[in-house]
Chain A
Amino acid sequence: MKEKRRELFLRIKKRLKKYTRTIILFAIALSFAIIFLLPTVLTITNSFMNETEINANYGKIFATTEKGGKVFVSDMVHIKFIPNKVSLEQFSTVLFKSPDYLFKFWNSVIYTVPIMLFQLVIALLASYGFMRLKGRLKEMLFFIYIIICLMPYQVTLVPNFLVSKWLNILDTRWAIWLPGMFSPFAVYLLTKYMKRIPKSIIEAAKVDGAGEWKIFIKICLPLCKGAIYSVAILIFIDFWNMVEQPLILLADEYLHPLSIFLSKINAGEIGLAFAVACIYMIPSLLIFLYGEDYLVEGISYQGGVKG
């Protein structure tokens, strides 16, 4: 009897220990999560404040002396999570009354979508080529592709700028489109993926009399469906966020995407700024919600862990 009780006691103790451990770990994770969500959530909730409320809350960050130096205004900014009055007025102002914002948003779309589509098509073709070809020349070319992928913009923008100048496409949308479409980033990932397709399938198709093109369309593309989604998402983030390229390749501010425009917001526009920022993040958040698993898979492939 005594022994049984002891055992029970030990079991309870072990359980308790396990529970406290889980609770502590959960608390750590939760606090991390709050920090991670804070900026996004603040942007979203603040976008529901009307212009006067925003100005009253945050107008102070533009308080300057006549010389342009910073000045301390008696009161601090109060960060507010919940608006006094939920208003949708500023959204309608952004969407229907101020074409400037909408035009910049449209700019972002018109850069991102064609680049995403064309880079995918070109990269799919190229990665099929890389998968099928053998030899030192191919290895070298692939290595060059990887190096280009890893170069920061400080390096790659110089060649891009020179070519755009020669082709006379500086200050046009083509200066963003063309280097983006031919960027080797997608090739690297897709080749890694395609190499995993068993050779025997392709050989079998060949014996059955399928040409290269047919093998590509009918076998490789369906097998790479998941990878195509992942790569599409990664390209989308890259170009939806783009800042460096337009700054250098487009002197005309009329053509700039929304990301650059948002950084130039001044005292007069802060009332609308949160609404614009919110609208700007909607497309990428939607893609994230629907494609999170593909994104995770794509990142894991980049690491080569599954490769």
Chain B
Amino acid sequence: MKNMKRSGFLLGALSGITVVANADHVFARALAQTPLPGLPGGENRCLVLINLQGGNDGLNCVVPHGDAQYYQIRPTIGIARGDVLTINERIGFNPNMKSFKSLYDKGLVAIVQSVGYPNPDHSHFRSTEIWQTAAPDKYEHTGWLGRYLDEAGLPKDNLFNGVAIAQVLPEVMVANKTDVPAIAQVNGYGLLSDRNSSARSTFAELIGDNRLPFNSPYLSHVAEIEDHAQKGSQELPKLIAGYKPAGTYPATPLGRSLSLAAQIIGSNVGTRVLYVQHGSFDTHVGQKPTQDRLLGEFSDAVKAFYDDLSAHGNENRVLTMTFSEFGRRIAENASRGTDHGEASPLFLIGGGVKGGIYGTYPDLSDTNMGNLKFATDFRSVYATVLERWLGRPSEAILQGRFDTVAAIA
């Protein structure tokens, strides 16, 4: 295992050097593979966060097929025991997650069960915000990864320390001192006017106009984003052009997002945290076809992602973590769907993970008004990722002390 990590790191470093040689740009410093302060092993590690938007129903994702109550309370949408991809006598994966199960069987997946937080909120917006800001008790405007980016001592002139593969910057990447680009796709990520050198240089001057005859609270934000848009879009396509994905990704939005994530990671542009999203899992009505399709897409895209990472020697550099704003009500509703619930499982994926089952099995008989009680605070999982994976102390970022989970060595 140790040797695998070394070789993965070396391969990554080599492809990074190739990019430096080709690109001739201002970000060379970020590509110098400087180990993070305090990073275990000094490896160039990344975290990829997958947001399963809308509230993924944990019980039909990691199915408690050994629990008779599950079938009583879900007479029409329950997943038949014979269809479940069995993990043990108690739980198994949704039948659409065959690819994901193959990763689990290789020991690359940790399932952390019954994750949640105290006094759960049932609103999509607020609960998403709670997971992204890691602040259940107050309104915090920075995300937990935004705070990580602010304090990790990453190269300030690198525009790609964090990248959100999304049209709109997610709250989890909102920082006080770091601007995270939100890039939906590289194709189209560039200014048409930059093709004209005169327009390009005048644009760069005008966007920085700081003697305006009015004041606006958004001025510095506008200037900064315009500047980053111009510089970043000039650089990123060049930086990642040398990367060729191995294998074929599914032609789904998540497949495309993870393919871009692998390309950015494999090009060694200094990115530490990436965000992608998938959904919507908000299955109030007719849950099964929707969730089955989404879980299938998730499973196939993640498998393709790790195959690609692995072919480039990056699988041990990359930890992927899923989250969803909440699980769903245990009982199905009359529309063959489920309403907003509370605790649910999340996944940690990658070569650095100690595969297996962590946390407490969901208890369908001891509920919080029909919702699963949480046993592991999500901030414990965040603390694990920050301390054991990204090598940063978690207390300041999470604004509290949380036990870590043994899922990462």
State yes or no: do A and B come from one complex.
Answer: no
